Structures are given as structure tokens and as C-alpha cells.
Amino acid sequence: MNVFLVGGGGREHTLADAISRSPFLTSLYCAPGNAGIAQVAECVDIGAEDLDDLHIFAAENDIDLTVIGPERPLIRGLADRLRADGMLVYGPSAAAARLEGSKAFTNEILENCNLTSKSFVVLDDPDEAKSYIREHGAPIVVKADGDAFGKGVKVCSSVGEAEDAVDAIMVRRDFGAAGDRVVIEECLFGEECTIKVFTDGTTVLPMVPSQDHKRIGEGDTGPNTGGMGCYSPVPAVDDALQERIVNTIVAPTVEAMAEEGSAYSGTLYAGCILTDDGPELIEYNCRFGDPETQVVIPRLETDLLEVLVATAQGNLDSIELSWSDRAAACVVVASEGYPGSYEKGKKITGLDEAEADELVKVYHAGTAVEDGQYYTAGGRVLGVTGLGSDYDDAFDRAYAAIEKIHFEGMYCRADIGWRARSGFDDR
């Protein structure tokens, strides 16, 4: 098969690495890719949001399957355009991708299907939003309704902080059109986890659970990021709890989308919070997570390409997933200054040494290569994943590999996985 992968981050490197090992693969292309992806695929100089050129490339290069990694091209309808030309695509339609593209749409689906008990309101006037906040008090959650690159959510501990969030979203328009409306939600408390599933719109096959760390600082402090590390499995999520989340939240959502004429096909990512009253959905994403993919896919023993094709063809009921019992731990290595401003072009050394351990994989997220030398090209530069017999073994391998990697200003948290690792006090 000729496969075309869209995207250029750590998630796409993980997918490309797994796809490249499939016996069914003939050629693998990736747009735009990165320096790590170039080791296993032919990178194409097309941006992940350049829908016209992506469409043309897929049409002109005998592509058998297009796998769309990031949310933006999905929300903007790339899958629809390719399917309209009879092409096989892994990823949801624009209508189905509203589960990530509109927080209001998701909340309304959940409420209409009795899949949530949390209170929320959708407002398009900043003064009304602030009035609601003052009436209900804090803590409270303020979200830009539209796609804001994962940065449009603010958990506010005070009324003033919540009002400032409204101003940032709706008045200053920090997230552009994503801030046309604001969703204000009840603040829920508990441990978070991620449950991802493969689904073809009918069959739902859960992946293994994962848990990530969003904040930049140790002790889960400081600003939110795209994710500073992740691990799988999750101590708080046993098989029974995962089954409960899938059967009472995720699968009914897939059924509801089909009933409303927007059948969901691809990866559905459920970010959940484990409250004292049971699991609640925080958000849906319409794609593989990052860095969640870097700990979930390395545990998948079934041929990933076979799963992707069956999902795209609507034959997912023919697949039985097999997962490794090993623990997986990913630690993100970032540029100094991330998630704020940071410099690029820092020389990276030690990558080969870091992967000398066969149970370690270094996934590239923000890298470039010139004359055989690797350089930083993003805020999150690398995701170093270790596999092990238990959490400590997996994290020890990941951190030992990181010690061999060097670039100016490199930063990583030393406490990723503290809930699962021994030797860490309860935080």
C-alpha cells in the first residue's frame, strides 16, 4: 500500500514509525514531516493545513490510504475532500470533527444524550459571560468554543481570573474566530486520564489508557503546555473503569453522531476526569493525542496499518487488538522558554546513543536536519519513550536516554509519572 501521512509532530513520527514496519506497506509519504519522520518516510514539502496541495498530492501519487494526524485539516474538511474523490481516508469528516472543533456542540451532544451531569452555558456576549461568572462564582472553567490549538481552556480559581479569560477570548480575540462564543462550565475535580478508541462509526475498539502532564513545571505547576510527558497504563484506570467510560460515554457518543447524520470514523480521544461521583468527559479530540500516542502505539502489537485500513473501510469488526503488558513512559524534551517564546536552530547531539537501548525510542516533534546534523525547530523538540517491566523500569530507561541527549537550553521535567513511580510523595 502507498500511505500518505499528514502532519509533522511527535504524534506523526510515532505513527510513521509503526506504519513503516507493516508488511502491507509499499511507500510512505509524509507532509510536511520532520527530521525523525524522514528516517522512515519520504517527506513532502506541503503544510498540514494546505488542503489544496494535500488533495492534489494524494490524487496524483496513487495513494491507497491517507492518514490525517492534526486536528486543523480534519476540522476544515480534508477528509471530506479526499473521500469525495473516492479515496480511502483515516480520520473523521468535518461534521464529525465538531466534537473537537466546537466545545458547545460537544456539550450539547452530551446533554441531549444524558451522558454528563456537569452544568454549562454557551454565550456570545462577553458582558453576559462575566455576569454569569459573577453569579456562579469560582472555581469555574472558561473555554473558547472553537479550535484554539488546545490553548483556549482556562481553569479559573477566582472570579477575576475568569473575567480576564473572557476578555482574552472574546474581547482581545487571542484565539481569533474560536472566541466568537465562550463555553463556561462547572469545575470538576479529580484525577485525569485519556481513553482513545478506534471507531469506524459502528464498532468501537478501545486503546490502552494513558495519563499525561500538561503543566510546564515540576509538581504540575506553571502554564499549560501541549504535554510534557505521559505514561501507560494508568494506575487509577483498571479494565472495569475503562469499560465503564467506553460504554457510558464514548460509545453512546459515537451512536449519537451516527444518528444525527455525522458518523464518526477515526480516532476519538476522550479526555476524562475521575470525580468522586464517577468519570466525566472534559473534552473530545478528533485525533491521536500528543504525547499520548508516544506511549499507546508502542504498546500496540497488532499491525497499525491493518487497523487504520479496516477503520477507514468500515470493517473494524474484523480486527482484534493485542497490547503489550509492558509499561510505556514518555518524557518530552523542550526548548528553553516553551510554552512561551523560544529560540530555534540549536544543535542536537546524542540521539544515536539515546536509542542504543532497544526498549527506548526517540520520537522527533520539533526538529530539522541539515547535512546530517539535527537541530531544534520547535517548542517541544523530542519525546523520549521507554518501555519496561513496570513504571520505574520504563521511566528509568527514558531518563537514562535523555541524559545522553544535549542541546543548548534543553528542558524536561524530572517528575513525569509521579503518580505511578515509586519514591515520589503524594502530591
Quick: pLDDT tens for 34-82: 999 999 999 999 999 999 999 999 999 999 999 999 999 999 999 999 9
Given this model, what pLDDT does residue 217 score? 96
| Residue type for position 269 | Y
Asked whether the predicted pLDDT for residue 427 surpasses 50, the reply is no
Interatomic CA distance for residues 46 and 38, integer angstroms:
14
What residue ranges in 218-275 does DSSP mark as E strands?
A: 221-232, 266-275
Average pLDDT over residues 326-330: 98
Asked whether the predicted pLDDT for residue 426 surpasses 70, the reply is no
Asked whether the predicted pLDDT for residue 274 surpasses 50, the reply is yes
Lowest mean pLDDT among 100-114, 173-187, 249-263, 413-427: 413-427
pLDDT tens, 101-138?
999 999 999 999 998 888 999 999 999 999 999 999 99
Q: Report the share of the chain in percent with pLDDT over 90.
A: 94
CATH 3.30.1490.20 in the chain is located at 125-180
Contact status, residue 6 vs residue 67, Cβ threshold 8 Å: yes
Asked whether the predicted pLDDT for residue 149 surpasses 90, the reply is no
| Mean pLDDT, the chain, integer | 96
DSSP assignment of 150-177, as one string? T--EEEESSHHHHHHHHIIIIIS-TTGG
Residue where the block lists cell 479550535: 147
| Structural element, H or E, at residue 217 | strand 211-217
pLDDT tens, 369-393?
999 999 999 999 999 999 999 999 9
Average pLDDT over residues 255-283: 95
Interatomic CA distance for residues 80 and 86, integer angstroms:
10
What residues form DSSP beta bridges with 130? none
Interatomic CA distance for residues 196 and 206, integer angstroms:
6
Average pLDDT over residues 144-150: 84
What residues form DSSP beta bridges with 120? 185
Interatomic CA distance for residues 124 and 104, integer angstroms:
11
Given this model, what pLDDT does residue 147 score? 85
Interatomic CA distance for residues 315 and 257, integer angstroms:
18
Interatomic CA distance for residues 278 and 84, integer angstroms:
41
Average pLDDT over residues 350-378: 97
CATH 3.40.50.20 in the chain is located at 2-93
Domain 2-93: state its class.
Answer: alpha beta
| Structural element, H or E, at residue 27 | strand 27-32
Domain with residues 191-318, CATH architecture: 2-Layer Sandwich (3.30)
pLDDT tens, 7-41?
999 999 999 999 999 999 999 999 999 999 999 99
- Confidence category of residue 86, pLDDT binned at 50, 70, 90: very high
State which fold the 125-180 domain adopts: Dna Ligase; domain 1 (3.30.1490)
Q: Alpha carbon of 91 to those of 96, 199, 200, 360, 419: distances in Å?
A: 9, 10, 9, 29, 33
Lowest mean pLDDT among 59-68, 111-120, 248-257, 293-302: 111-120
- Confidence category of residue 425, pLDDT binned at 50, 70, 90: low
Question: Where on the phi/psi map is residue 335: left (φ > 0), alpha (ψ -120 to 50), or beta?
Answer: beta
Candidate CATH numbers 3.90.420.10, 3.60.15.10, 3.40.30.10, 3.90.600.10; the one for domain 327-402: 3.90.600.10
Interatomic CA distance for residues 390 and 16, integer angstroms:
26
Of 111, 219, 224, the closest CA to residue 165 belongs to 224
Q: What are the grid coordinates assigned to 331, written together?
A: 518524557
CATH 3.90.600.10 in the chain is located at 327-402
Of 366, 348, 380, 367, the closest CA to residue 214 belongs to 380
> 243 φ, ψ to 5°?
-60, -40
CATH 3.30.470.20 in the chain is located at 191-318
DSSP assignment of 97-133, as one string? THHHH-HHHHHHHHHHTT-----EEEES-HHHHHHHH
